[in-house]
């Protein structure tokens, strides 16, 4: 993976490893996230948490059919109710990429979750 000014390059649809903070900001845990946007001029991107705990109301299954390249170590789900802005400099590893169709589905569900109609 190419190194940039802000750390590893990440693009929309990438599955990457970052230190993900707990909601009370007491600590953080290295976790995979799905990049929902490309990094902006400051190196920041919007991401959704990835979990190995299934059966979330707001989860999207990351099965083999939606991973375009690479792989995750365990069966996983994207949590569209766990969105965060992160710095590209925090990315320590890239696991792979999801299909464009899956990414569009995740973004549509995230928009729905926050009460915004996704653009066509």
Q: What is the pLDDT of residues 52-82, one digit of tens each?
A: 988 788 889 999 999 999 999 899 999 999 9
Q: What is the per-residue pLDDT for 21?
A: 82
Model confidence at 3: pLDDT above 80: no
32 and 72 Cβ atoms separated by less than 8 Å: yes
What are the backbone angles phi and psi of residue 95, rounded to the nearest 5°?
Answer: -85, -35
The Cα-based distances of 31 to 11, 93, 101 in angstroms read 17, 10, 23
> Hunting for tokens 């649809």 — which residue is that?
13
DSSP 8-state class, residue 22: P
Which of 2.20.28.10, 3.20.20.150, 3.10.290.10, 2.30.30.110 is the CATH number of 3-113?
Answer: 2.30.30.110
Q: How confident is the model over 13-17, as a mean pLDDT? A: 97
- Residues, the chain: 120
Confidence of residue 25 (pLDDT cuts 50, 70, 90): confident
* This prediction's pTM: 0.87
Residue 28 has pLDDT above 80, yes or no: yes
Give me the residue spans of the domains in the chain.
Answer: 3-113
Q: Contact 50/15 with Cβ under 8 angstroms?
A: yes
């Amino acid at each position: 993976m190419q190194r940039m000014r802000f750390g590893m390059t990440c693009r929309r649809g990438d599955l990457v490893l970052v230190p993900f903070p707990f909601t009370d900001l007491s600590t953080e845990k290295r976790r995979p996230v799905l990049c929902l946007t490309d990094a902006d001029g400051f190196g920041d991107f919007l991401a959704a948490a990835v979990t190995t705990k299934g059966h979330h109301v707001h989860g999207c299954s990351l099965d083999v059919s939606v991973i375009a390249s690479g792989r995750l170590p365990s069966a996983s789900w994207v949590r569209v109710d766990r969105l965060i802005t992160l710095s590209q400099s925090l990315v320590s590893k890239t696991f792979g990429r999801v299909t464009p169709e899956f990414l569009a589905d995740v973004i549509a569900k995230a928009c729905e979750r926050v009460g915004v109609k996704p653009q066509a």
